[in-house]
Structure 1
Amino acid sequence: MSEAKSAAFSIQICRIMRPDDANIVGNVHGGTILKMIEEAGVIISTRHCNTQPGDRCVAALARVERTDFLHPMLIGEVAHVSAEITYTSKHSVEVQVNVVSESILTGTKKVTNKATLWYVPFSLQNMDKVIEVPPIEYASPEQEEEGKKRYEAQKMERLETKERNGEMILPVLSPDRQTKEPYTVGFSQSSLIHLVGPSDCTLHSFVHGGVTMKLMDEVAGIVAARHCKTNIVTASVDAINFHRKIKIGCVVTVSGRLTFTSNKSMEIEVFVDANPLVQPGEGKYRAVTAFFTYISLDKEGKSLPVPPLKLETEEEQKRFEEGKARYLQNKAKRLAEKERQQ
């Protein structure tokens, strides 16, 4: 691929981390980083999809693959977010993003995140119409084949996730925690209600995917903090699936609950349900789903044991076993990756 064409498929954005980006001990919120990742992804994918003649379009986020938070980012550091288009199907774009933190005092740089995002382009003339994506050139047939495998895998997982998301969690905004036993699902379960306004949206009145992910991370963080009562940070996010677009004027309910705890981590299931206020006949719908993993830290930033989750129902036990399976599967993947690097 020529240098000019390669540059058209990549982008880098940078900004310094401010106090309002971080928690009370100076760690940048995972949701802030997710929002920056999505901003880079939507710029490059929308830019690419408008390189062909025909309908102008905007790329909407459909899925974020598992994202690990490898190192904490701190106030005063510069975040370098690099995005590159690595695969295109007929109607979707794969964008791979790397995030590097830079200390402007010492020059030290660390890779904090690697993420893969999938976007779908919608016509500006008809926002329900998905348009075709211009193809990219691949360095080799093997690279294209690997991209196709990733595309088929995420497509299958999105369908499976959509099928099992009929359940609606009742929002828990001001529960009487005195009636709940500590370390139970009900004690820490939390919800946030947000009215979607212009500042949350694209120019075409749909919510930015990064805004939604930031709200999800805030709710997951509240759940984790209520369970541990310590400083907590985002360790990873399993695949985030965007099932339907959220429009301006919707009321979104972001609900989170603990599903699994290991000795040093917590898995929190987060749902986003949207309720259109100004569109008669359209009821509440499930818009986004994901699993967030948090860890507990002491004042020196060292990991602390996580209190075990007390299970009260068969349904909670079932979700716990499913979370344990995901935990063991991800642990095996990390060990395999570590061995491969050695």
Structure 2
Amino acid sequence: MTDVFISYAREDAAQAERIARGLEGQGLSVFWDNEIPPGQTWADYIEGKLNQCNVAVVLWSEHSTKSQWVREEARMGRNKLIPAKLDNHEAPFGFGDVQAADLSSWGGDYNHPQWARFTNAVLAKARPNAPSAAPQPPQQPPLQHQPQPQSSGWQAPPGQQQQQGGWQTPPPNQNQQQQGWSNSGQSGGATISASSPIEYIQKCFRLYIDGKGRARRAEYWWWALFSIVLSIVAGIADLAFGINPYTGLPNSQILSMVVGLGLLAPTVSVMSRRLHDAAKSGWIAAGAIALSILGGLLGVLGGLLSLAALIAIGVLPPTVGPNQYGPDPKAP
């Protein structure tokens, strides 16, 4: 039997993921999946999961209050409902009599008082006979994964898809999920764990422009090595077009330019996530990239300064355990 069923609109997937992971960190099993086994209809499958759970958490927001599917789930789980508000929108007509937890100001900090109030209510209903204890900031639990498409929510049958919210099962193992913590995330963004150089590089491509979540030092340095090698290969390929005898440069640098532009976004993303791992603002990555570009214009001294900035980001000590940007990427 599942402890908690989470109902939400697909637009709120990143916030739903943070909530699911936080509840799992309290030892609760959470159902929020968009996978429906072959041979089952949506109605039968969701109804079965709702009947089996101890708590039905519905996340009210601007998007979910307009979703007929989220409303239907809230109606089906009304006798065990714990609503939570993600923004200042009120619950739909007929659900306002159930007091909702206010998570509109919660940004993912598991020490936030509103989060503590919410988890205490969920724990009390999900495990009524368990001894009460103040919730602790969750460590990332071991997760199970079912491969997911990039879209967050359950893909409804034609004609229903635009209104459908998403449900997720025990949250996917992060080395395959493509969302940030914050699905990321999520969104967070989506956190995706990896353990080999190829997986680190694949993760950087999957989170191409997603700077949410956290990145280990190993991920940062494997991506740096990959970028350097790829740039060298592109430079060698440009030599096939010949060398300008006056400048000593290749006649064409088109391949190097294409590779550089293609690597720019994931490089900024992994730098941002590396800074998050050290509890620093990801916006510092933009400054480092600007310094790198400026360094190319200033010659050797500028290049050394930009290299020093890139190395400094790579060696920053990580935060042990979860921080405001997501769970510890080294957590099992």
TM-score by length of 1: 0.27
- Higher normalized contact order (CA 8 Å, seq sep 6+, divided by chain length): 2
Query: Scaled by the length of structure 2, what TM-score is found?
Result: 0.27
Which one has the bigger helix percentage? 2
Name the structure with the higher strand share.
Answer: 1
Q: Which has the larger radius of gyration?
A: 2
